[in-house]
Structure 1
Amino acid sequence: MSAIANQRAIIDRRALAGAISAAVAEHGMPKARQKVIELLRNALHDGRAEVARRLAEHPSAGHEVAYSQSFLIDQLIRVMHDHVIEDVYPAGNRSSGERLVLIAVGGYGRGEMAPHSDIDIAFITPGKTTAWCEQVIEAMLYYLWDLGLKVGHSSRSLDEMVRMAKSDLTIRTALLEGRYLWGDQELYDEASRRFWADVVPGSQAQFVSEKLSERNARHKRMGDSRYVVEPNVKDGKGGLRDLQTLYWIGKYLHRVKSAAELVDAGLFTRKEYRTFRRAEGFLLAVRCHLHVITRRAEDRLTFDLQREVARRMNFADRPGKSAVERFMQYYFLQARQVGSLTGVFLAHIDEEMASKRRARGLLAGFRQRSRMLKGYRVFGGRIAAPSDDWFVKDPVRLIEVFQLAEEHSLEVHSETMRMATRDVKCIDQAVREDPRANELFIKLLTGRNDPETVLRWMNEAGVFGRFVPDFGKVGAQMQFDMYHHYTVDEHTIRAIGLLAAIEKGEHRVDHPLASEIIPQLGNRRVLYVATLLHDIAKGRGGDHSVLGAEVALHLCPRFGLDEGETELVSWLVRWHLLMSATAFKRDLADPKTILDFVTQVESVERLRQLLVLTVVDIRAVGPGIWNSWKRQLLGDLYELALEQLRLGYKSTRRAEQIAAKKEHVGELLGVNADLIDKLASRFDDAYWIAEPEDIIALNLVHYAAAKELEHKLSIHTEYYAARGATLVTVIGDDHPGLFFRVAGAIHLAGGNIIDARIHTNRAGKAVDNFLVQDPLGNPFKEQEQLDRLQKSIEDALAGKIELVPQLAKRPLARNRADSFEVRPRVDFDNTASGRFTVIEVSARDRPALLNRLARSLFESKLMVNSAHITNYGERAADTFYVTDLLGGKVTTKDRLKGIEAALLDAASDERQRESEAA
């Protein structure tokens, strides 16, 4: 605490104690209690304000601010203690049992506190707690609670402390960082001596094992990646708790008094300690900012807080990268450093403990022989460089060591990782151009064991970004949106890992088509290189697909790819979003959609490569992004495009397609197969092409029943497993506004429409199919949910619900999407379909958006044929295939301009209107 400048500006303990004594002298106890609380509260408030001021003045001074906060609490507690034993419960001649020491434990014991951190105190007595000790402890706790402080406390005798520390890892860890706070110094010394003499000896291996298990469980709970875009600064992977775990283990094994002494223990080099200190200081500063902004113990760096922390820490916008993206990139770089330090540290600990086990075992004299692999020493499943100058002599070995690790399923030895990190600057342009280095890199990238894990090691050592500087530019780079869960480099490495896993047949259930296609590829390494490069140009400003294709043209020849391979990789990078955009935002039943897609793809090999790249790209975005609906749409597009490519552009076999579909529908209908002959003439070709066979079978049964019962309106809701959604079918007399009324009713029932196909048959009947999910992306399955959905639609179409006022009663809740600026945009395309005008609306995603857009289209006198709804985190992209009331395309400029204005108004939410008005 001595390093804290101008301590009395934070709190003047003598002045505070004097004021309390004066209040007691004037009013006496207990009347003076409220005045004492007031004095303590004012001191806490003023101290916090001073700490916040220092943080604002020095926004990256994490250690200093954390120490200052701890100092403030120390002084308050010391004043409280002295006041209680002198004024509240004075004891003239205390017995030997009436002794008490206050020990700061946990983070408070380290002296590192954020402004609203919990205060953890252990009250220790020599023996069974006396009445006087209980009174003092209770009085102090009440004062702390009256100040609104969150206190974690324990009251134990010395024997109880030892017994409980032996049996409870949490207690042992807390006491490990115990620091004398106030009270009986001799009692503290005895407690410390007994902890190290009675608790620690013989439990070191157990402590390390339990702490690492605890860490792994915490990581799993927090997302198991240090690159999640809303990280937990304290408990997340790469966060403060990981650094503290290293310190705890080092202290438990070597009894170090500070992290700096880990260097003397041989667990860190001086450079690594500086890295430890820098990362810890930055993370502490971020945590302090979070506490100051929210005025509570907030440790999650959520989207809405990231901008403000970036601003407070003086990050500024740069071309192609916003201030918040630059801040988060720096955050993830520090998290990566924490990961690197953890790997080196724990490997040292593992070897240290293994050597102790060998030394004590029956086979203490036995040493397993190492073997040599291309000059490297392999021992215990690890590959190690044979000498300290190994990489300096030949920097290509920095690539080779990782390639051999992948090929032979080995770990890279911690000391070798340390050397690689140290010597990474040896990789210069000559090494990058070296054919042998590039051959080794491609061999690693396309490895058949576990390229994902080894590429991640390579990335964390800094070798990956140094060897491929374009990849280094996206290292730790986040995308400030709710769609991408990981940084660009982590997303890319995960995509490569998924590709390898699919190729090994590990995802046949989730990705049957991709698993079937991969063995048919003409060139697998093209796909791996394209996966590596597909997002390589993000953060440069401009279209990353176009810029990435140019990077591919430059890099692929360096990697050893020939002209044909280079051209294919560049094409895949340029069009890696084409298949998902077509499948999710276009009507696959429209022949023009397939024709346009196939015209761009041109060959079966490109189609296969693109399908697999699209799958791994989507799946690697994050958990919950991939689903059966996306799998179905991509599969449909692939099959339609494959057929078109094999037949040629001019031969579409539309009649044959419809005939085959009817035959399959007949098989599904079984005894009701005659419905095809009875009803087929009522439906035009577009219906038969648009709908899957199983939905057609359901529609025909429902249509026939409604016709027989003379129902003017027939509504059916059922779980549709094929796409992980609920199928809602509405059959009735067609009329303008049907679509927006159904959309509004589904929203009122708590559902979101993810896809819609609107058909009017030759008898003037509407047969509309909607796929619906709840706000969390799950289908309605329970009968009660299905009934509620059906009743809501019935009431809306029967006029029993006034949709507009009912929807208005459900204002948009402020949620995480509010942290992002999404300007609504409307695009028209009259070339994407032969029959329809295609309108795409991009806007901030929110409940009832589709209803508002559909109502706007109705009021603009447009007929909606199909709607395709896609979400990208906070952004929704809704596509509508429309005609005017006469069935024609909308082409006049004035009409398009009016429709655009109406849709923009519908897409704008209250928050955007408020900002525009301001």
Structure 2
Amino acid sequence: MSLPTIPRQRAIISRRKVASAIDAVVAEKGATSARQEIVEILRGALDAGRAELTARLEEKPGAGHANAHGYAFLIDQLIRIIHDHVVEDIYPAANRTSGERLALLAVGGYGRGEMSPHSDVDIAFVTPDKPTSWCEQVIEAILYYLWDLGFTVGHSTRSLAEVTRMATADLTVRTALLEARFLWGDRDIYDEASARFWADVVPGTQSQFVAEKLEERDARHKRMGGSRYVVEPNVKDGKGGLRDLQTLYWIGKYLHRVRSARELIEKGLFTQKEYRSFRRAERFLLAVRAHLHTIAGRGEDRLTFDLQREVAARMNYADRPGKSAVERFMQFYFLQAKHVGQLSSMFLSHLEEETAERSRIGEFIANLKPTREVDGYPLVNGALGAPSDDWFQQDPARLLEIYAIAEREGLEVHPSASRIIRRDAGLIDAKLRKNTLANDLFLSVLAGRNDPETVLRWMNETGVFGRFVPDFGKVNAQMQFDMYHHYTVDEHTIRAIGLLSQIERGELADDHPLSTGMLPLIKNRRVLYASVLLHDIAKGRGGDHSVLGADVARRLCPRLGLDARETELVAWLVRYHLLMSATAFKRDLSDPKTIVDFVSEVQSLERLRLLTVLTVVDIRAVGPGIWNSWKRQLISDLYEAAVERLRLGHKARGREERVAAKKAQVADMLGDKGSLVEELADAFDDAYWIAEPEDVIAINLPHYAAAQDMDHSLSIHTEPYEELGATLVTVIADDHPGLFYRIAGAISLAGANIIDARIHTNRAGKGVDNFLVQDPMCQPFSEGQQLSRLRKSIEDALLGKIDMVPSLAKRPLKQTRAENFSIAPLIVFDNDASNRFTVIEVNATDRPALLNRLTRAMFEQSLIINSAHITHYGERAVDTFYVTDLLGDKIVRPEKLARIEQALLDAVAAGEPAAKAA
């Protein structure tokens, strides 16, 4: 194997020119004395070569192959210059023995000629027998030069016999040698090593090599997250990355001894079209990796948020309406990753056919048995195959039928059939999309009873899904550039459908008891599955995707076979699919107006159930760790309150009845301390009893009574609240202005985050404030040391032992990933959401101590905070406050609202990195 022809080689490096410069220095000062100058000459050549290749990449930012081969060429020439200098000037040997011979082999990616700007340099030094002292000296001298140049060198020194022995025993060595390329030195040794490899190592081990390589690939995928649609992918090792393409080439080369991927066409493992797809994906991924290395100045293979923007800009992606440059770049990235997955599937399909040779007797016996079929589709190794090569051309509706059968019967689609489907997916046209049978088949997959998620993913991989539902094709591989969404839109949607199916089958009853219980009661099952499919269908179009998505639903649902009533129900669900989460997470559920407004939009129990399930699967499908017990509790609380309102209407239990019922429950929970409910009746008003859940009140009352008995002016209680995945922090203190912001700052200093807060001033003038807090990993504080730190920090803050502002300023804050994003701050005032309070919603980039700054600003504006509801969507913080002025009235005067808005904007700006640096 040799490198492809590199254009304008001497502009990258002129070996003759560099070697001449070294010869001149050696002639003047001698090899030993001139060493440092030689290193500088080599470093100058390396820097100049890199600069030239960087300029070429800027000129042609997508030229991945040219850049990779160019870097391999540059390293080749440097190593050859170093080798010749060492053997001629440092360790010359006039009459070498047969053992004083050495071959330099480029192995691994370097051997393949695919080098990124900061790739490791992998070299094998091969000797005829055990290395002589001369060989060892030469090898050591070469390595020291390479290290002086800053290369990370992976190297091995082995005799011919050791090469064969180790390759036989070790898969990694075998793979490295598979791509070994003669670099310099004794060519005969390389030829002998290659001959032994193919004669002594490979024969009889082909099946083992393929199995081990596929096992290695699967383990790597699992380690990298298991999906090719994660939003910060690893270009080299991630699913759909360069390593997957290399695995195909390794397997093909090991089986057929090909010298290039193109030769796999002749071997039947790739079609011409598939090979072009291979090269296109490889070229793009190599270019992306080259840009990553160049920007980072090191071997960086992960496309992190902070690098995605820069790579997109370097590769000349531009903003388009509804889609930013970085989102367009990443969508193309994921499309290439998808193509890599398709290539892997097709390649392995060919491999299976190639290796499925049977003896004549076995074939004769097999032919005596009738081939099992399912609705006209033969079963090939237990998977649905295509009866003929033109099967789908005869009737394109079969492109949907095979998947409907697969979902219904719980069968796989054979890779050979998938290959034909991918080829014929272009047959899906406007006529087929209007075909009633085809739409019935699609809907039977979408709302399948077995495993619609897997089958829809197969349909997506072959292109059938996006062609049959073009609106879905538009969000194929589309990412959202934020920290909240972990997957592309199409992957998120398919996962949500899978979660709905799992809940319906009762497989997630422990995680989702509410949804599991209500699904059998839902009358509009098809509506639910269609709404999950369409809830994000209009993302990336500009405008509100909920509104635009409802329009898509009204157009698409009749085509799928839903009647007018079902269509309007789907459109409503898509339009309001964020309503329940926004209400549950950003509004005070103890405020009656919240429930009244929510129910006025929902209107029926059936729509409430549908919306609840849609909300649950949407949140959980966003990514790992997004759904938690706190969100489950809030959704459940809103659902139960809405059910009561819907069932009883204006006859719903009045305030007095609700308070009395809750008091009875708390008394029962307190047992022998139940009398505290009556003893403290004068201390807590009805608003407290309505706002707090029973179990929190059952904690608060004994705490309050004990503080009262001991005449404590300040009492702090911390207790892990496992059901909600948080820690309950209760502060009982003499009420005074600024209490909230001081507590918020103290909690931040203790390393915790507030996720919910309820502020009460009782009739005795005591502040009884309940906070739910989590650690930075969204887990409860549970260890004694953590709880003590929380209590001590709050106590010191409220007793004036620490000056909050400078303490927070001095606290070392680690750089968070949110720093890579900038959310334009938005302050929203709502005087209609509550009858008693002005609701202030603050949207901003999440920063440490943001809540403290916001609540301090409100204190300085003479606002009284009744409750706070803290929500995070990745890098976006949405903090909602229910407030009044000092007289307990809403804030309505425009000039006052304007002052509050500016104060809050200033508080947000104070946490920006530039502000901190200043």
TM-score, normalised relative to structure 2: 0.98
Aligned residue number for residue 91 of structure 2:
89
Cα separation, partners in 2 of 1:360 and 1:900, compared to 1, 3 Å = farther
Distance of aligned partners of 1:560 and 1:399 in 2 relative to their CA distance in 1, 3 Å threshold = same
Question: In structure 2, what is the equivalent of residue 77 of structure 1?
Answer: 79
Alpha-carbon displacement from aligned partner over 1:844-901 (angstroms, at most 9, x marks no partner):
0011000000000000000000000000111100000001111111111111110000
Question: Are the equivalent residues in 1 in contact too, given 2:232–2:303 (CA < 8 A)?
Answer: yes
Contact 2:662 2:694 in 1 (8 A): yes
Show the counterpart of 1:298.
300
Are residues 1:216 and 2:218 paired? yes
Cross-structure match for 2:396 = 395
**Separation in 1 of the partners of 2:703 and 2:221?**
50
Q: Distance in 1 between matches of 2:819 and 2:427?
A: 46
Deviations 1:673-719 (A, max 9, x none): 11111113321122112111111101011111101111111001121
- Identify if the C-alpha distance between structure 1 residues 913 and 827 changes in structure 2 by more than 3 Å, giving closer, same or farther: farther
Are the counterparts in 2 of residues 483 and 872 from structure 1 also a CA contact under 8 Å?
yes
| Secondary structure class of the residue paired with 2:623 | coil
Match of 1:839, SS state, is strand
Q: Which residue of 1 is the match for residue 652 of structure 2?
A: 651
2:809 is matched with which residue? Answer: 808
> Which residue of 2 is the match for residue 637 of structure 1?
638
Deviations, residues 267-304 of structure 1 (Å, cap 9, x unaligned): 11000000000000000000000011111000111111
1:906 aligned counterpart, secondary structure: helix
What corresponds to 1:487 in structure 2? Answer: 488
Separation of aligned partners in 1, 2:269 and 2:765: 79
Pairing of 1:61-460 with structure 2 (within 5 A): 61-353=63-355, 355-356=356-357, 358-359=358-359, 366=366, 369-460=370-461
Q: Distance in 2 between matches of 1:476 and 1:915?
A: 37
Matched to 1:541, the amino acid is: G
CA offsets 1:558-582 (integer angstroms, 9 cap, x no match): 0000111111100000000000000
Aligned to 1:581, the other structure's residue is in SS state helix
Report the counterpart of residue 33 of structure 1 in structure 2: 35
Superimposed CA distance per residue, residues 567-603 of structure 1 (whole angstroms, 9 cap, x where no aligned partner): 1100000000000000000000000001100111000
The 2-side partners of 1:65 and 1:310 are apart by: 17
Instruction: Map 1:760-775 to 2 at 5 A.
Output: 760-775=761-776
- 2: distance between equivalents of 1:607 and 1:352? 55
> 1:517-916 to 2 correspondence within 5 Å?
517-649=518-650, 651-810=652-811, 813-909=814-910, 911=912
Specify the code of the residue in structure 1 equivalent to 2:107. V
Cα deviation per residue 1:789-809 (whole Å; 9 max; x = unaligned)? 100000000000000111111
Query: Quick check: 853-862 or 373-382, which moved more?
Result: 373-382
What is the rounded CA distance, in whole Å, between the counterparts of 2:145 and 2:650 in structure 1? 82
1:58 pairs, out of 45, 57, 60, with 60
Q: 1:88 to 1:535 in 2, by over 3 A?
A: same
Count of aligned positions: 915
> Given residue 28 of structure 1, which amino acid in structure 2 is its aligned partner?
G
- Cα distance in 2 for partners of 1:124, 1:696 equals 77
Q: Mean Cα displacement is larger for which, 183-192 or 399-408?
A: 399-408
| Aligned partner of residue 681 in structure 2, secondary structure | helix
Equivalent residues of 1:101, 1:187 under 8 A apart:
yes
- Cα distance, 1:652 vs structure 2: 3.8
8 Å Cα contact 1:719-1:780 kept in structure 2: yes
| Separation in structure 2 between the aligned mates of residue 876 and residue 239 of structure 1, nearest angstrom | 33
Where 2:778 maps in the other structure, the secondary structure is coil
**Matched position secondary structure for 1:107:** helix
Which residue number in structure 1 is paired with residue 50 of structure 2?
A: 48
In the TM superposition, residue 914 of structure 1 has moved relative to its aligned partner by: 6.6
Q: Cα offset for 1:420?
A: 1.2
CA apart distance, 1:763: 1.3
Instruction: State the AA in 2 paired with 1:9.
Output: A
Structure-2 separation of matches of 1:68 and 1:681: 83
Following superposition, the deviation at residue 663 of structure 1 comes to 2.1
2:680 aligned counterpart, secondary structure = helix
Q: Which whole-Å CA distance do the structure 2 matches of 1:505 and 1:108 have between them? A: 52
Structure 1 contact 369–379 (Cα < 8 Å) conserved: no
Q: What SS does the aligned partner of 2:36 have?
A: helix
For the residue of structure 2 that corresponds to 1:143, the secondary structure is: helix
Q: Is the 8 A contact 1:391 1:397 kept in 2?
A: yes
- In 2, the alpha carbon distance for the partners of 1:361 and 1:745 equals 81
Query: Would you say the 8 A contact 1:229–1:478 is kept in 2?
Result: yes
Contact kept in structure 2, 1:118 and 1:152, CA below 8 Å: yes
Contact 1:97 1:127 (8 Å CA) reproduced? yes
Deviates further, 429-438 or 908-917 = 908-917
2:491 alignment partner, SS class: helix
- Once residues 369 and 132 of structure 1 are traced to their aligned partners in structure 2, the CA distance between those partners, rounded to angstroms, is 70
Give 1:254 shift: 1.3
> CA offsets, 1:293-346, max 9 Å, x none?
111000111111111111111111111111111111111111110111111112
Report the AA paired with residue 273 of structure 1: Y
- String of CA shifts for 1:22-64, please: whole Å, max 9, x gaps: 1111101210111111111111100001110100000000000
Is contact 2:841–2:879 with CA below 8 Å preserved after alignment? Answer: yes
Contact 2:493–2:533 (CA<8 Å) still a contact in 1? Answer: yes
User: Are the counterparts in 2 of residues 496 and 532 from structure 1 also a CA contact under 8 Å?
Assistant: yes
Partner letter of residue 42 of structure 1? G
Tell me the CA shift for residue 361 of structure 1: 10
Aligned counterpart, 2:498: 497
CA distance in 2, matches of 1:365, 1:17: 70
Letter in 1 for 2:381: G
- CA deviation profile, 1:410-437 (whole Å, cap 9, x unmatched): 2212221111111111111110011100
Q: In the aligned structure 2, how far is the partner of 1:145 from the partner of 1:916? A: 38
Letter of the structure 1 residue corresponding to residue 431 of structure 2: A
Give the TM-score, by structure 1 length.
Answer: 0.98
Question: Which letter does structure 2 place at the counterpart of 1:597?
Answer: F
Question: What SS does the aligned partner of 1:682 have?
Answer: coil
Which consecutive residues of structure 2, in runs of 5 or more, have no partner in the other structure?
Answer: none
Q: Contact 2:68 / 2:116 at 8 angstroms: preserved in 1?
A: yes
Distance 1:35 1:652, change over 3 A: same
Contact 2:909 2:915 (C-alpha < 8 Å) held by counterparts: no
Shift of 1:363: 8.7
Q: In 2, distance between residues paired with 1:649 and 1:812?
A: 51
Is the 8 Å Cα contact of residues 862 and 884 (structure 1) preserved in structure 2? yes
Tell me how far apart the structure 2 counterparts of residues 370 and 835 of structure 1 sit (CA, whole Å): 74
SS in 1 for 2:477: coil
Report the secondary structure of 1:345's partner residue.
Answer: helix
> Aligned residues: percent identity?
69
Name the SS for the 1:902 alignment partner. Answer: helix
CA distance in 2, matches of 1:352, 1:792: 69
Any unmatched runs of 5+ in structure 1?
none
Distance 1:82 1:365 in 2: 65
Using the TM superposition, give the Cα deviation of residue 375 of structure 1 relative to its aligned residue in structure 2, in angstroms.
Answer: 2.1
Helix, strand or coil for the counterpart of 1:680?
coil
1: distance between equivalents of 2:274 and 2:398? 23
Q: Matched residue of 1:648: which SS?
A: helix
Q: 1:197-236 CA distances to partner (integer Å, 9 max, x unpaired)?
A: 1111121111111111111111111111111111110011
Deviations 1:382-423 (A, max 9, x none): 111111111112111111111111111122122211111111
